[in-house]
Amino acid sequence: MKKIMKVITAVILLASLVLPLSNAKAQTTLESIKEKGQLVVGTSADYPPFEWISIEDGQEEIIGADIDLAQKIADEIGVELVIENMGFDGLIPSLKTNRVDILIAGMGYTEDRAEQVDFSTPYYETTDYFVVHAEDAEQFEDASAFAEKRLGAQKASIQEGIILSEFPDANLTSLGKNNDLIQSLLTNRLDAVLLDEVAAAQFIKQNDGKLVLLEEFPFIDEEAQTGQSVILNKDNEDLLEVINGVVEEMVENGEYDELIEKYIELI
């Protein structure tokens, strides 16, 4: 009997220690950001004028409209901004494993993404177009001309989904970086690359007339019409409120559009 009582007493004591821990409220992402004094933002810096690597005097710096947006959010929280650059397809996995706090990388809404993460109020909307060699533009008289071509898109992007849906017979190449896609196009390993119109225009500008935008073939993903958003893990309403406050102010007063124009001039 004494042994039984000792066991019961031990169980009760153990339960008294465990219950307060189980009832403790989990720390939110916003609380964690404030505690460490840093907002860690994941991006894929291959998407001018939104985010790209600028080299000046041999020094690399990630700049762009999205980076300024990230800085505004960090300033609103009152912490230092830290940028983590990675391939586009690694962004959501890095968010889910808490390597980064939020994502700002020109990412739009899809149902698959919405099952995993939350989206801020959209801050920019674009349409997608194919980029091709200037000398090859006449080959693409209608959309059927893309059917069996070597088409490129960023891995895990909306553009990749459009090609899979609209051109199932095409030879799709998905790469993590837009820069690598453009290089593959320039070296004739791809026939066309699908990009949003703003980023596409900057790659065309950088390559001195070698590439052109096929303006007659716009692609609008109906699912993604909500535009580009800041991405964060689910169940972080306090952080989402802060982000939405910054985004909505920048959209309403035209500041984000001004940033786009500013960085286009720098490319």
- Enter the pTM of the model: 0.87
Domains of the chain, start order: 29-125+226-266 (3.40.190.10), 128-224 (3.40.190.10)
Average pLDDT, rounded, for the chain: 90
Q: What average pLDDT does the segment 130-144 reach?
A: 93
H helices of the chain, in order, are 2-23, 29-36, 65-77, 91-96, 111-114, 158-166, 178-186, 197-206, 237-252, 255-266
Helix (H, G, I), strand (E, B) or coil at 226: coil
Q: Does 48 score more than 80 pLDDT? A: yes
Tell me the average pLDDT across 84-112: 96
Alpha-carbon distance of 51 to 39, in angstroms, equals: 17
Q: Taking 60 as the threshold, does the pLDDT of residue 143 lie above it?
A: yes
Q: What is the pLDDT of residue 227?
A: 87
Answer for the pair 193, 151: CB distance below 8 angstroms, yes or no: yes
Instruction: Note the pLDDT of residue 224.
Output: 52
Highest mean pLDDT among 13-22, 139-148, 203-212: 203-212
Measured CA to CA in angstroms, residue 87 lies from 5, 44, 177 at distances of: 59, 6, 6
Using 50, 70 and 90 to split pLDDT, how confident is the model at 126?
confident
